[in-house]
Structure 1
Amino acid sequence: WYPLWDAGLKLGHQVGTVDQLLKVGGEAVEMATSLLAARTVAGDAELVEALAVGALDQWQARSRQNLDRLQESVAERHARYGEVAFLLEPDLKEARGGLRDVHNLLWVEQATVPILREAESAGLAAAFETLLAVRVELHRLTAKRSDQLLLELQDEVAKALDLTDADVLMSEVSAAGRTIAWTGEGAARRTRRAARRRGPARVLAGIRRQEVAAGLILDDGRLELTDEADLSDPLLMLRCAVTAARHGGYLQRSSLERLADHAVPLSNPWPDEARELFVELLAVGLDAVPVIEDLDHVGLFVLLVPEWEPCRSRPQRNAYHRFTVDRHLMEAAAEASRLVDRVDRPDLLLVGALLHDIGKGYPGDHTEVGVELLQAIAPRMGFGADDADLLVAMVRYHLLLPDVATRRDLDDDGTIRQVAEAVDDPLLLRLLAALTEADSIATGPSAWSTWKASLVRELVERTSHVLGGGDVGDVVARSFPDASQQALLDEGAFTVRGDGDTLTVVAADRPGTFSKVAGVLALNGADVVEASAHSEHGRALSVFRVRQVLGGSPDWPRIEDQVDRALVGRLALSARIGDRSRTYRPIRLTARPARPTVTVDNSSSATATVLEVTCPDGVGVIYRITRAFTELEIHIVRARAQTLGSDVVGAFYVRDSYGAKVTDSEHLAEIEMLVLWSVSVDL
């Protein structure tokens, strides 16, 4: 073995007699499956044959026990590694839908009668070859045994395989992973059913089997088409899908194939019953997701929504989104099903949630493309003109509430007026509010938080008041500074106080205070997510709300001490942040980091200019931006920052040195130049 190890090859080894090895194989499923692949490399071929035959005989003799252990092992592996189809950096071997799952299917077949159907085998083989080719190139590029397709390697692997780009690569990887997972799930279902038929549960088979509709039999969660099913009925597919989803079940694979072989397109526009069944399917929620995926796998879902096809298995390639585009849309609809009681038109909410990102499958701005697509899809589904307009508006404004809530000052009456003018309909506002929550939760764990939910809720309540005829002044009374903060300011004493997730600073009103505090927070692994500033009588109040990026609570005593030193010029902030940024390089979480941009908005607020900065995340980003503002005598009134995967979007309400909005074009150009330079260079 030593020459192989010296060559860097991974090799498991064990020495023993045939009986000893079989004994170990009888105790450990990993050893048992390894022995099934035993073959002669050198030495006594008859001895190896005896081992191989004995291993297979033992595997088959203990098939029930082995399959139970194998199923447990597979479940543990999937829980640990996730799914090939949806991960930003999938493990090509161990994740669900990976190469190990194909091996698992072969082991199951060796323990029982063949479980793979002929229609599945060809697709499985092609998917296996796709992942194997990617894995081989990955090993070649890294010169080591690594099965995780890291983001930084995806472009190189794509090039090695002569693919256009990494998006194409990851789309193929996702599609292959879904095929393997889909085939494996079907085989597992058949194996479990076969085991139940052999066991004590077989006496309940007749009880479990029931006719749920004409031509439809539900048998222990599996929906089957009988010979009496009317395959010429264009609504049969939807009826089957709704029935399976409502019972938390699935469609029999052979029945799926019959539906696909005899698919009858719906008329244009759809009949009312088709639209009602489609909405009913979406209303089931999470149990509808695997049913829709089954329909899509055999080409049935695109018969309903042809525009869906470019979204299938389309990767989003950033850590902010945990799913491919198509799966994200299914999950968004499922999340929306929990929120239907909040709106007057559940049907519009569900369909809007399913289609809000449909434009991501096409070139161009996904919102603009989505609007064009919905203008065709909604009438085809049989929605009337007014309802179609609402669906189009849901797509057009699906990012309005979360963007405004997290990037604009909700205490500014201009913000509320702007949203009210855009939405201009209480029904649409409620639909957008529910869609925002469903979309965010379906996006990923970092896309929805208590803080974001409270901001969206506050924005919706204030906008609703205005749409109902109320005065905007009733809902935007200035809340900063509050009474306790004003009291601190009136006292005039230098104050640095950290509590919970908030840091409050009262100091002399000097340029750079905001920037220095942001720098200290960055040194301590805390991201600024919201900040407000107010000054009067030569004193400045700054309040920062932070998110601890390294876990735990902020070390407020340490931060308070460093803020004190920084504000009196006794802390080398730039040097320290530069050292930290070189030591803690951010993990790449996005395939294409944002190109730094500065957007000027002089219409949202009557009293301040909004400068929105988008750039890749990194240590001290807010410090760099605000230090640039200080150099150009720009004063920050309020700020909000949001991390989206590997990118940061910061919105800064600013005024010039005279306390006015920044309107001079030359001044704005200098601000843009310095900010872009500041976020692009190392300190």
Structure 2
Amino acid sequence: MPASALAAARETRAAALDAWLAPLLEGASSGVALVAVGSHARRELTPGGDLDLVLLHHGRPDIAEVADRVWYPVWDSGLRLDHSVRTPAEARSVARADLKAALGLISARHLAGDPGLTSELRAAVLADWRAHAPVRLPELSVLCRERWKTHGELAFLLEPDLKEARGGLRDVHAMWAAAASWSAPPSDAGVKNAYDLLLDVRHVLHEVTGRSTDRLVFQEQDAVAHALGMPDADALLRATAEAARTIAYAADHLWRHVPRRSVPPEGAGRGVVRRPVGDGAVEHGGEVVLARGADLGDPALILRVAAAAAQAGLPLAPATVARLADRAVLPPGPWPPEARDALVSLLGAGPAAIAVWEALDQAGLVVRLLPEWERVRNRPQRDPVHRFTVDRHLVETAAGAAALTREVARPDLLLVGALLHDIGKGRPGDHSVAGAVLARDIASRMGFSGDDVAVLETVVRRHLLLPETATRRDIDDPVTVRTVVDAVSAVPGRERDVLDILAALAIADGNATGPAAWGTWKAGLVADLARRVRAALSGGTPPAPAREHLALARHDGAAVRVVGSRVTIAASDRPGLLWRASGILALHRLAVRTARVASETTEAAGGPGVFGSAGYAATAGGGGTAVLDFTAVPEYGRPPDPATLEADLRRMLADRLDVAARLERRERAVRVRPGVAVAPPRVRVLDDASATATVVEVRAHDRPGLLWRIGRALGACGLDVRAARVDTHGAEAVDVFYVVDAAGRPLTDPAELSSVRARVLEALH
């Protein structure tokens, strides 16, 4: 039956019930009124719904007889009846004491008898509701959250409760009650349409089952779907999920703002507080909004603002999301690096990314950014092991993978691989095979390099390799290990990347699926298999130095160039040059995305040098010229003046600028608000990575001045940085330093190594 016909049927039924109930008060209409509350008051009574009536009076001695004349015919008809007899004062008192009773009486509708009594009751209840809104609405918020805990989230349940679950009909009733208090705006058309859809489903469910039930169980779903003109149960679940997510998103926004009605916001009376949280984004009233002058023509703006919100642990303001959806440009293919980096930063925020992603999705931005998302959006998974729809499972997996970024060399590939690992579901054939093709196209469109595209394609194709092999094969059998080695070797030279990403993804995927899909036993098997495969893999050879990184080494004296986001320095080699230069960048509010260092002596020797990579180069004192090549982007706002930046870098090279003092003054002046909870930093000493230096690997959440802190800590240990490779993937820093002592030798004393590790960790907190 069409939705419009169902709504008309409910209206017709309400009118018929009104006409039938009114005569029951004949002869007793003076000083008494019959009032509908609940679904009949809203003219939404479904076939299995309860009739909820209140008989109002002003102390009539024969009210019990009047009540019997009303209740008995209703009972005799077979209708389920919830009833009460009150004076207006008694009903008002009950509403004051009982939140649920108040919610019903707010929408009371006169049916028969003295309309003055009904008006008196409604006026009194609404007056109390509005006067006590600062107390009642927080109570209502708590009541909703308790209900969500009991009934779960409608959008992700295979047998949802249409009324009580999060995103169900009750949540809209709560929104209407909040709007009746004048403390919140009325719900929008999207919520109304979602509500009508759920009400239609409940209506048909009652007709199909012939009983009052709100749970959409498996065996009734096909019949309900067909009655609504939908092809099958999956289409029905996708429609209910869409409606529930619309309602839940609006409810979240409502309950974030309601408490502020009773508690003055921080800074009230001192003007509007707007705190920058990223380039083009500021915090305003506990939400992230666009900064004044944000460039809506910037193809990275949407994702950068979303990443800023997630990293700050704040929601995106709905009006901001709507403006981005309406006016901001999308990144073209291939995406600019800034857009790709912002996506990685968004996903790297972990659980905080989920609500931000949902905001983008509600505005239609996710499908516009990733058209392939449409096929998995709201797609149910007919497997009780899975807790979520396919799209939410992908986002939950990426959020879980954020806690594992310290375990892989390429956090960006782990996060994007987690987001895409099930993207092939809903397509014909094996979803891993279909997904690999889609992942290849998506990664290419995102602007990843050819090798990175191949890694992501392999990760999606093989994302079940480790858990399936570990639980179905004998991992003591060398053939088992060799099979996995062959599978992860699809991208020559990237075997370890693929293996480590698959191992981390197995954990994130299992946890996002549900407790039945992942446990200690399975985790142990996967970890053991990954360890055996890792041992069987041979290491690759490092790439040769890039000549462009060494070009400035032929300059005499000091040379500084600032071209866009690239900062290149050539200077006499000396201890501490790398971290002092990075400190200058931090002073100018530039975030280091990559740092590569090379030396003239390395190339002059006719080869890659003892450290063997253009990403590594000497910065210790030893003669020659060191070349530092940074990629740095503004923390927020406009980039600094290049001439001023160059001048400060030259002053630093001439030892005429105290970098440490200026950075410490800046940090004291800036009030830092805690962002999202992130994985703790990790510092490892890699014993077997070099024969001529001690290799220190630092994994940490990126923040202003991070490289400066690490370098200063190493310098405080009396160490020289002989080589370094610094990379930031999204919000995750992956930094590797080759250090030697004052005599130019690697450290061997365990106590010294432990002290270095502790000193660097201390600098990261």
SS of the residue 1:218 aligns to: strand
Q: CA deviation at 1:207?
A: 8.2
* Structure 2 match to 1:54: 124
Q: CA deviation at 1:113?
A: 4.6
* Structure 2 match to 1:81: 151
* Structure 1 match to 2:440: 375
Question: Which residue, 363, 376, 382 being the options, matches 1:317?
Answer: 382
Cα pair distance change 1:125/1:207, threshold 3 Å: closer
* Structure 1 match to 2:248: 181
Cα pair distance change 1:4/1:451, threshold 3 Å: farther
208-217 or 426-435, which deviates more: 208-217
In structure 2, distance between residues paired with 1:238 and 1:148: 38
Does the CA contact (< 8 Å) of 2:300 and 2:336 recur in 1?
Answer: no
* Structure 2 match to 1:256: 321
Q: CA deviation at 1:456?
A: 0.8
329-338 or 360-369, which deviates more: 360-369
Cα pair distance change 1:435/1:55, threshold 3 Å: same
208-217 or 380-389, which deviates more: 208-217
Question: Which residue, 471, 475, 494 being the options, matches 1:406?
Answer: 471
* Structure 2 match to 1:363: 428
Q: CA deviation at 1:46?
A: 2.4
Pair 1:192 & 2:192 matched: no
Question: Which residue, 132, 150, 167 being the options, matches 2:234?
Answer: 167
Q: CA deviation at 1:200?
A: 7.2
CA radius of gyration, larger in: 2
**Deviation sequence 1:356-415 (CA, Å, 0-9, x none):** 001114333211211111121111111111111110000110111111111222233332
Question: Which residue, 388, 393, 416 being the options, matches 1:328?
Answer: 393
* Structure 2 match to 1:126: 193
SS of the residue 1:447 aligns to: coil
389-398 or 416-425, which deviates more: 416-425
**Percent of pairs with identical residues:** 48
**Deviation sequence 1:313-354 (CA, Å, 0-9, x none):** 111132111111111000000110011111111111000000
TM-score computed with the length of structure 1 as normaliser:
0.65
Does the CA contact (< 8 Å) of 2:183 and 2:258 recur in 1?
Answer: no
414-423 or 269-278, which deviates more: 414-423
Question: Which residue, 141, 144, 156 being the options, matches 2:208?
Answer: 141
* Structure 2 match to 1:294: 359
In structure 1, distance between residues paired with 2:483 and 2:323: 53
* Structure 1 match to 2:342: 277
Does the CA contact (< 8 Å) of 1:96 and 1:177 recur in 2?
Answer: yes
In structure 1, distance between residues paired with 2:434 and 2:129: 55
Question: Which residue, 164, 167, 173 being the options, matches 1:94?
Answer: 164
In structure 2, distance between residues paired with 1:427 and 1:235: 27
* Structure 1 match to 2:508: 438
Which letter does structure 1 place at the counterpart of 2:392? Answer: R
Which letter does structure 2 place at the counterpart of 1:240? Answer: V
Does the CA contact (< 8 Å) of 2:265 and 2:285 recur in 1?
Answer: no
Q: CA deviation at 1:162?
A: 1.7
In structure 1, distance between residues paired with 2:298 and 2:415: 25
Q: CA deviation at 1:215?
A: 4.5
SS of the residue 1:15 aligns to: strand
Does the CA contact (< 8 Å) of 1:85 and 1:178 recur in 2?
Answer: yes
Which letter does structure 2 place at the counterpart of 1:284? Answer: A
Matched ranges for 1:145-544 at <5 A: 145-196=212-263, 199=264, 201=266, 203=268, 209-213=274-278, 215-424=280-489, 425-468=495-538
In structure 2, distance between residues paired with 1:245 and 1:204: 28
Q: CA deviation at 1:151?
A: 1.6
Does the CA contact (< 8 Å) of 1:402 and 1:436 recur in 2?
Answer: yes
Cα pair distance change 1:156/1:228, threshold 3 Å: same
Structure 1: gaps (5+ residues): 470-683
* Structure 1 match to 2:115: 45
Which letter does structure 2 place at the counterpart of 1:371? Answer: A
* Structure 2 match to 1:552: none
Q: CA deviation at 1:252?
A: 1.2
Matched ranges for 1:584-595 at <5 A: none
Q: CA deviation at 1:130?
A: 0.7
**Aligned-residue CA RMSD (Å):** 1.9
Cα pair distance change 1:360/1:204, threshold 3 Å: farther
Does the CA contact (< 8 Å) of 1:214 and 1:228 recur in 2?
Answer: no
In structure 1, distance between residues paired with 2:238 and 2:286: 31
Does the CA contact (< 8 Å) of 1:375 and 1:388 recur in 2?
Answer: yes
* Structure 2 match to 1:597: none
Cα pair distance change 1:114/1:423, threshold 3 Å: closer
SS of the residue 2:386 aligns to: coil
Which letter does structure 2 place at the counterpart of 1:186? Answer: H
Which letter does structure 2 place at the counterpart of 1:72? Answer: V
SS of the residue 1:373 aligns to: helix
Q: CA deviation at 1:251?
A: 1.3
Cα pair distance change 1:210/1:281, threshold 3 Å: same
* Structure 2 match to 1:532: none
In structure 2, distance between residues paired with 1:431 and 1:200: 44
456-465 or 98-107, which deviates more: 456-465
Structure 2: gaps (5+ residues): 1-70, 490-494, 540-765
Which letter does structure 2 place at the counterpart of 1:451? Answer: W
Count of aligned residue pairs for this structure pair: 464
Q: CA deviation at 1:195?
A: 3.4
Q: CA deviation at 1:257?
A: 1.2
Cα pair distance change 1:5/1:358, threshold 3 Å: farther
Which letter does structure 1 place at the counterpart of 2:123? Answer: V
222-231 or 253-262, which deviates more: 222-231
